[in-house]
Each structure stands twice: as structure tokens, then as C-alpha cells.
Amino acid sequence: MTRLRFLIVPALLACATQTLSQGKKEDFDRARKLSSLTRDNTSGLKFTANWIDETEFWHETRDQQGRDWWSVDAATGEQSPLFDQTALSGLLDPLTNQVVEPRRIGLMDLKVTADYVQFQFDRKYWRFGRASNQLEEIERPNRTAPRNPSLSPDGKWRVEKRDGSLILLPVDRSSETNLTKEASETLRWNYFYWSPESNMIAAWRTTTGDRLKMNYVESVPKEGVRPVLRSHTYDLPGDNVDTHKLFLIKIPSGEVIEPDDDEFDYWVASNVWWSADGAKLRYRHMYRGYRKVTMMEVDTATGTSRAVIEETSETRIHPTNTFAAYAGQNTILWTSRRSGWRHLYSVDAATRNATPLTSGEWEIRGAPVVDEEKGKIWFEAGGREPDRDPYLVHQYVMNLDGSDLKLLTPEAAQHVPQWSSDRGHFVDTYSRVDQPPVHVLRNGADGTIIKELRRGDDAPLREKGWTRIEPFKAKGRDGKTDIYGNIYRPTNLDPAKKYPVIEYIYAGPHAAHTAKTYRVTSQLHRLAELGFICVQMDGMGTDYRGKAFHDVSHKNLGDAGFPDRIAWIKAAAARYPQMDLSPGVGIFGYSAGGYDSTRALLAYGDFYSAAVSLAGNHDHRTDKTWWNELWMGWPMGPEYEAQANPTNAHKLTGKLLLIHGENDTNVNIHGSTMRLAAALIKADKDFDMFIMPGRGHNLAGTYIERKIAQHFVRSLYGKEPGRTN
């Protein structure tokens, strides 16, 4: 966790009865030491279950005196030492010519089986018998490499990519055959998948688009003193992008079959799933514009194709939240929002009939896990349980036909599971931002708690004045929909004082972003220590609350949920008078949040008065294709220009700080921040800008944190900050 080493010392405000006095060195020392304070005064916050097999797992505990390793019986939850630490330390003593304390053994790279513990110690590798207490030095273990996708399943053939072609070779490399002779600069073969019987490959032929370049300048290169111009391929919305077509190639003859399916005009080719006998294959086809997706099935003997699943939408279909799994050769489990909520459907591939397995005003989260032998489906979901935060994720299990649905994790908390390979048991860590984690071992069939393993404790920390994050709920723009967020307070909060408010924003529609698990320190904690109350919430337009909630952001990223955010902050301030909105609210964010934070001053300058925008994608016309076409639509419409921050630069009120890394290959500095800066200058608007030499999209670190804090002290307290040593 980043620590705030460089500190800010603003002068005292004239009216201390209205706002918190600033400038005491001890306040900033406390902020600098917050990470160590929280670490030294908490315990049991983490629990990592390392499954050895279906019956046993191990975990490690630490305190100021050292470490211990424990074995846990999955059937009973009983814990015992994983190995004899005293015996091992005694064997290591003569090898190091020093006393090795049993709880101070510096074991690294542990691998545990039922019989031994393998580890690295003193730059060598060792194996220690868990029962025999025998220690032996071993060779450095070879890491198991993943299966080489170029090698056929029967091990007889290899396909290599060479100059855009696919070359077939026997494993002895005695000959070679070019399977794709028509490869050229604009026609290339990059992705292929072996059939189970090794007699065919499915290969994608890519017709290259414009592949235009985006440039940036590296001011301080590793070699030489001259700045270096860098370029990389970067598609923008509306560009002529790569397209892909599926072909089947017989092995070893090289005979080609062209399926009668559509060309793939999405930004990257799809994975391919073969049937067990190789007679059919399936792939997901997301059409450009994200308003149509199909699951295609191809007869590999004839090339005949058909859509076994087809989804269409007037708005958009979220590509990374549409999941497929298989429950038998002809049954596909498919997630869809056709009802308005993301649910799981069982699709008969032969008839295309879709049967809903789940329903209601709640949402599936993540891909389902299927066990055909047990006849079970495990999945995660949020919002199903009444009278609780709908973002809290719970674990469920049901039969393949959707019957006998069981809630495995009933506690009103965020649940993070660590499953055994057979799904017979799992370690469940559940917590909320206002509740330390509890780690329990559960039965995977019904969720019964077998044993509580450990419980987090923050009592010593709270005794020192630290307070937990407070979850807060208020109505959104429509006066009906609940908006959920968090409040962060300084450890020396004085209820009689008032504190300026700073919001952290990231309104990316691909997910929800407000913390739900317990945490004791973060950038918002550190910023609050400097005399602010910090907040974060998810407004309309973000995910996991149903299609209507999500579609608020369709072709409308400029909305960013601001009407909900403003209503939420006003409700929180009415509840807690320590929240001072009179100087205007501060707001900051990274990447898409960088766009959002500037947008706050352009569109809602009567509420927000100060913003820091980091690596912001300020103009959706000059940012990457897939992100902007997904949320802003394709073909491009007038909303692209209308909602661009440079278009609205003349509306700026308040105090804006732009920060960007010059080597950002995700959000190009010239197409975004510099473009906005030029528009602000043209509009004769005052603003500040800081360019970070040598940095990319990741702007984490103490230096940037200090820049953010300095800006808000100047803007919301009206005083020039200082620095402590």
C-alpha cells in the first residue's frame, strides 16, 4: 500500500468554528503513518486457503513474533501444524551456521503435498517430510509449462505461425506444409484451434484494417539524451478495423472448408469450442456495435453453420458479462438480460429453445460452474436477498434444471470463496466495509458452516481513533432508486467541526466500483486524514442493477450518474452536518474517472468546485475503439462530439488540475489531455496541468497523491499548502 510520505501543511483558516483548522504537523504525521498504524493494530484480516487435495488445505498465520503454517481437515475443520517447525529449524541450523528460530524460518515458494513440504531456503530448494521429518536438498524444480497450443492433441503435429501463415510440421520437423498460402501484408492468420482428434484445425483469417498509429514522445529515454518519438497501432471509433473469417483446415492434406457464416467484424477473433468428437464447433460472435451476439455452431464436415443462440438489443450487450458454459454436449448455459435482468438460461442446441433457470429482479455475477456428474450448477449473484445491499455477492447452487436452488452464504456481507477442486467444500471469507472479515469452512452442497477458522479484529485500531468506512444509502435522481456508497472520515474527526467533501469517481459502465469488502487503508483514507470527508458511490449507468439502470449510460457517458451522486451527497450532508458543501465539492478520478471528474466541473459547476483528472479519456472520438463504441455506440453519432470535454471547455468553472503520464499507451496524452488543454486555452480558462515524464497509464505513487492533496487544500481551504520533511 502506498504511503503518503510527502505531506501538506495548509495554514489555519480564519474561521475555525466553521471549518477544521489545518496546519498541525502531527495531523500530517498521522496521515503518513496510517498504513503502519493499521497494519500493527489489526489481525486476522486475510486468510488464504491453499488446497492440497479435496480433503485438506493449508494456510499461514503471522504476528510480530513470526509465522506458523497450519493444515486443515476439510471434513471437520480441525487445524494442526502443517509440519514440525522445530524439527525443521533444527535441521536447518547447521546448514546456515546460525540458529534458525522455528517461527522465523524464511521459507519461500512453498509447494505442499500430502507427504512433504517443498520450499526455497537460503537460495536452495529443499523437501521436508511432513511425517518423517526428513530433509533433503533437491534440484531447482522445473515449472510445469502450459500445454503448447501449437502441438496437436495426439502429439504428432505442430502448427507454427510464420510471416502471417500457418505452417504444418511433423514433430520431427522432417517436412513442412504451408496451410495458408494466400497470406500477405493485409491477409494474415493469427489464431487457430486443434480439433480433439488432431485431424483438423479451426483458424481465423484476419483482413487487416487501417491500423493507424498513435504517437507520443518519451522525454527521458533509457539510452541517449534525445527525446524519442514512439508509435503504436491504436484504433479509434469509426476506424476501419481488422475483420476475421473462420476456416477449417484438414490435417495433413491442407484441404480448406469455408463455413457459411458471417465475417467477424468485432475487434478480436473469438475462442473456439470443439465437440468431444470433433463433429461440431462453436464460437461466440459479438457483432460490431455490441447490439447483437450469437453462439454459432458449425458442422465441421460440411461447413454448414447456424446460430444456436441469438441476442439483440436496442442499446448494447455487455460482452464481458455474457457467459457460456456446457452442461452436456447439446445443452448450453447462457447468461442473458432478455428479461431486463442478467439471468441464466439452459439452451437446447438442437431446438434453440431457451429455458430460464433463474429469474427475478436480481443478477447473475460471473460465469457458472457446472458439474454434470453431480448434476449441479454453482453461481454467484447479487440482489436476490431482500433488504440488503444488492451489490453484495452471494454463492448459490442448484440442479441442472434450475430446481432446488440453495443459498450457500446467507450472511448479509460480501462473500469471497476459495473452493476445493471438487466443489465439496470452500473457505468463505465474508465481510463488509463496516464489518471485519470472518473466515469459515463451509460444505459445498448446502453451505453449512463446518467450522469458523479465524475472525478479523480491529479493536486496537479503533481504540486509537480510527473509524470504519460507513456504507450509506440514499435515493437517486428519481426519488425512488437506492444509490449505495461509502463515507471515509479522518481519525481525528471532531463532530463539532465541518470538513470539505471530496468524491472519488469512476463511472465506467462495465462494472460497479464502490468497495464492498472490509479495508483499513486506501488513498481515500489517507486523503481524509488531511482534513476531508471522502465519499464514493455508484450512480445510474453502472452495472449489476438490471438493464434499465445500466442503460442510463447508453450513448451517454457524459451523464456519469451525476444527478444520483449529487442527490446522495446532499442526503449524506443532511444526515451528517460535519460534511461541509459550502466551498463546493471536490472530485477526482483516473482514466474514465478522469473524464468524469472534468465533466463534473463542466456540467455541474454549481455543485463541484475543484477537480483532479488523471489520465482522462476526455474525448471519446480520440480514445480506443472497443471501449467507446461499446458505451457511446456505433456507427458514431453526434453524442460523441456533444459529450467530449474539449467541446464543453468554455463551460469550465472551478479549479481543475489535469495530470497525465507522457508514455500512456492506454489513453493517449495528445488525443485526450492535450486536446482538452488546447480547448481550455482557446476558451481563456484558467487551469493547472502536470505531465509525469516516463510514466504510463498507471499514476499510483506518493508524488501523485501529494499533487492531488495539494490541489484540494488550495481549492477547498483557500490556503497554500506547505510540506513537512
- Confidence band (pLDDT; 50, 70, 90) for 461? very high
Cα separation, 283 vs 295, in Å, equals 6
* pLDDT at residue number 144: 64
The answer to whether residue 362 is domain-embedded is no
Same domain, 529 and 635: yes
Count of structural domains within the chain: 3
Q: Locate all alpha helices (DSSP H) within 1-109, ordered by sequence.
A: 25-32, 34-40, 85-96
Same domain, 131 and 168: no
Cα separation, 444 vs 425, in Å, equals 4
Gyration radius from the chain CA atoms? 29
Same domain, 521 and 563: yes
Whether 597 shows a pLDDT value over 90: the answer reads yes
The answer to whether residue 652 is domain-embedded is yes
Same domain, 88 and 175: no
Of 27-41, 69-83, 633-647, least confident by mean pLDDT is 27-41
| C-alpha dist (Å) from residue 150 to 29, 157, 257, 284, 333 | 57, 8, 20, 22, 29
pLDDT digits (tens, 9 = 90+) for 394-436: 999 999 999 999 999 999 999 999 999 999 999 999 999 999 9
The answer to whether residue 352 is domain-embedded is no
Q: Note whether 612 and 716 are within 8 A (CB).
A: no
Whether 12 shows a pLDDT value over 70: the answer reads no
Whether 634 shows a pLDDT value over 60: the answer reads yes
pLDDT digits (tens, 9 = 90+) for 227-237: 999 999 999 99
Where residue 482 sits, what CATH number does that domain have?
3.40.50.1820
pLDDT digits (tens, 9 = 90+) for 527-574: 999 899 999 999 999 999 999 999 999 999 999 999 999 999 999 999
Report residue 630 as a C-alpha cell. Answer: 461499446
Residue after which a domain boundary falls, among 304, 322, 340: 322
The answer to whether residue 644 is domain-embedded is yes
Residue 715 DSSP code: I
Same domain, 37 and 69: no
The answer to whether residue 426 is domain-embedded is no
Same domain, 263 and 201: yes
pLDDT digits (tens, 9 = 90+) for 481-515: 999 999 999 999 999 999 999 999 999 999 999 99
Cα separation, 571 vs 501, in Å, equals 13
Query: In this prediction, what percent of the chain has a pLDDT beyond 90?
Result: 85
Residues 6+ apart with CB under 8 A from 690: 657, 658, 659, 707
Using alpha carbons only, what angle is made at residue 434 by residues 430 and 437, rounded to the nearest 5 degrees?
25
* pLDDT at residue number 563: 98
The answer to whether residue 65 is domain-embedded is yes
Instruction: Tell me the residue range of the domain where 203 lies.
Output: 152-322
Q: Is 21 helix (H, G, I), strand (E, B) or coil?
A: coil
Whether 13 shows a pLDDT value over 70: the answer reads no
Whether 393 shows a pLDDT value over 80: the answer reads yes
Same domain, 237 and 303: yes
Residue after which a domain boundary falls, among 276, 301, 322: 322
Axis crossing angle, helix 562-575 with helix 592-603, rounded to the nearest 10: 80
Same domain, 102 and 225: no
End-to-end CA distance of the chain: 21
Same domain, 109 and 183: no
User: What would the mean pLDDT of 609-615 be, rounded to a whole number?
Assistant: 98
Same domain, 220 and 100: no
Q: Note whether 344 and 335 are within 8 A (CB).
A: yes
The answer to whether residue 399 is domain-embedded is no
Same domain, 35 and 99: no
- Confidence band (pLDDT; 50, 70, 90) for 321? confident
Does residue 149 have a cis peptide bond before it, meaning omega lies within 30 degrees of 0? no
| C-alpha dist (Å) from residue 609 to 259, 586, 657, 673 | 58, 6, 12, 20
Residue after which a domain boundary falls, among 103, 138, 173: 138
| C-alpha dist (Å) from residue 184 to 162, 163, 257, 494 | 11, 8, 20, 70
Residue 542 DSSP code: B
Same domain, 199 and 315: yes
The answer to whether residue 451 is domain-embedded is no
